[in-house]
Amino acid sequence: MAEKRKAAVIGAGIAGSSVALGLLNAGFDVTLYSDKDRKTLRDGVPATGTAIYFGKPSLETDAEIIEDIYGEDSYTDGFSVRAYNPDKTPLLSFDFDFRYFRAQAVDSRLRADDRIGRFLERGGTFRVEEIDIDRLDEIAKQNDLTLVGTGKGGLIDLFEIDKSRTVYTEPQRYLLTVNVEGLPYDKKTFDYRSKVGWKHNLFFGNDPYGEIFLGPILHKDIGHSWSILGFAKPNTDWQKRFDEASDAESALRIFNEIIRDYFPEDVKEVAKLKTIKSDSHSWLKGAVTPHVRKAVGFTKSGRAVAAIGDSAIIFDPIAGQGAQNVSIQVAALVKAAKEHKGEFDAKWIEAQFDAHWKKHGHGATEATRLFLGDPKYAAHLEALFPASAVSERAASAFFRFQSEPSLVLNLQTREAIERYIEQDAGESFGNLIARFKPVEKFSARD
């Protein structure tokens, strides 16, 4: 019987725990390294996001690693969108169902912990150890394949930023997020915005200031809960307010104040939300500069190691592409590793990442640019938003970019995006725009 090939995974977040479990299932002898023990990873760190999957591409690839264990209440099936003018008057509103399947948001700590649990049940080795450059070199010498899913210990410096694939040199948004409870999962919740209540995520936009997302998420402790994510544009009132957050209570207070001042129709409902007492780490603030790194790094002795997850591509979270990118990258990497018979050298690692970039990564970065309102896509948004306001089918086509971001790559002109809208809406773009009128007043909870 052939000796099992050995793999080491550094970092036990979603990327690390996913690839470790996937490689174990593929027949590798796998060791997963983390600087924190399992309990601390679950209960002693902040959630790094909603870990949301939009539609079949990410949900089906994730099922290649671990089956869906979260149930029907983990799914939403649409969005309620409201946008305001700079003077805070209403601009447009639309509520629609996803036509591409569903979305699933689960606490990133819960997703990772469930994968670690399955990994241990199936005989994987989990080691709590701080890994630096020297120790990584030792580990790489002992394994056939070494993957890095963390930047700690100076490891991120092994992977050079790929300037040919990186657009931004500074953050495009400042983030504030908090997980909360207090509203039930039923049709009455936000029914003044959506015909299906809790099943539609809420999106608030005010162009000079930023965006807010509010939607259901399964929390690691209490299950049914809600996530509020704020995306503040730099040097705005929102960014100044976000900077003042120091804990979950202050984060929720800041969101309540922003809703009061900028989106008053939602004040009464959002005011019912409260922090989750069992989780002091249920909030997070900060900013990231979106970038792409080279897929291969080399240890001191010249061993090739691979970047996965945020170590390879880090996204602004506005379009929800981070966890999806992990799902698709990891599933493809595991399949390729299982089928590969030779050495896992730099050439092989580069080939896997280039294939992922072509299939998904590039599209995900471009779709994120679109949702950020990048000047490259200004004309696209000028077409997409008003069309969505008068056609649910057009709205579904717009937000399909979250599920199938690579569609954006073939829609690089205003003419192309208009044809795309027409194909899904079933009528001419001119007719759609002719029907658009700014809303005079948004409905509100009495």
Task: Judge whether residue 28 has pLDDT over 70.
Answer: yes
Task: Judge whether residue 214 has pLDDT over 90.
Answer: yes
Residues 114 and 20 in one domain: yes
**Which of 287, 313, 331 delimits the end of a domain?**
287
Residues 233 and 328 in one domain: no
Residue that the structure tokens 């725009």 belong to:
433
Residues 294 and 315 in one domain: yes
Domain membership flag for residue 258? yes
Residues 349 and 278 in one domain: no
Residues 181 and 274 in one domain: yes
Question: Cα dihedral angle (424, 427, 431, 433), rounded to 10 degrees?
Answer: 0
Q: Is 367 helix (H, G, I), strand (E, B) or coil?
A: helix
Residue 196 contacts by C-beta under 8 Å, 6 or more apart in sequence?
77, 78, 97, 187
DSSP assignment string, 247-299: SHHHHHHHHHHHHHHH-GGGHHHHTT-EE-TT-TT-EEEEE---EEB-SEEE-
Averaged pLDDT, 117-146: 98
- What is the rounded distance in angstroms from the CA atom of residue 400 to the CA atom of residue 379? 18
177 phi and psi, to 5 degrees? -140, 150
CA geometry: angle 298, 301, 303, nearest 5 deg: 45
**Which of 287, 314, 348 delimits the end of a domain?**
287
Kindly state the DSSP code that residue 4 receives in the 8-state scheme.
P
Residues 403 and 421 in one domain: yes
CB atoms within 10 A of CB 69: 11
Domain membership flag for residue 365? no
pLDDT at 2: 66
Please say whether the beta carbons of 228 and 180 come within 8 A: yes
Q: What is the pLDDT of residues 156-205, one digit of tens each?
A: 999 999 999 999 999 999 999 999 999 999 999 999 999 999 999 999 99
Averaged pLDDT, 98-124: 95
pLDDT at 391: 97
More confident site: 383 or 1: 383
- What is the rounded distance in angstroms from the CA atom of residue 195 to the CA atom of residue 203? 15
Residues 233 and 296 in one domain: no
- What is the rounded distance in angstroms from the CA atom of residue 164 to the CA atom of residue 293? 10
- Within a 13 Å sphere around the CA of 164, how many CA atoms are in the beta-carbon half? 3
Residue 167 contacts by C-beta under 8 Å, 6 or more apart in sequence?
290, 365, 369, 374
Residues 324 and 341 in one domain: yes
pTM of structure: 0.96
Q: What is the pLDDT of residues 327-365, one digit of tens each?
A: 999 999 999 999 999 999 999 999 999 999 999 999 999
CB atoms within 10 A of CB 55: 20
- What is the rounded distance in angstroms from the CA atom of residue 247 to the CA atom of residue 283? 7
Counting residues of the chain whose pLDDT is more than 90, the rounded percentage is: 96
Domain membership flag for residue 342? yes
Q: What is the pLDDT of residues 382-437, one digit of tens each?
A: 999 999 999 999 999 999 999 999 999 999 999 999 999 999 999 999 999 999 99
Domain hosting residue 400, numbered range: 375-435
Domain membership flag for residue 330? yes
Residues 267 and 257 in one domain: yes
Residues 227 and 336 in one domain: no
Domain membership flag for residue 18? yes
**Which of 315, 333, 360 delimits the end of a domain?**
360
Sheet with 304-307, strands from edge to edge, namely 125-128, 29-34, 6-10, 145-148, 304-307, 296-298
Q: What is the pLDDT of residues 54-72, one digit of tens each?
A: 999 999 999 999 999 998 8
Task: Judge whether residue 260 has pLDDT over 70.
Answer: yes
Residues 184 and 246 in one domain: yes
Residues 278 and 393 in one domain: no
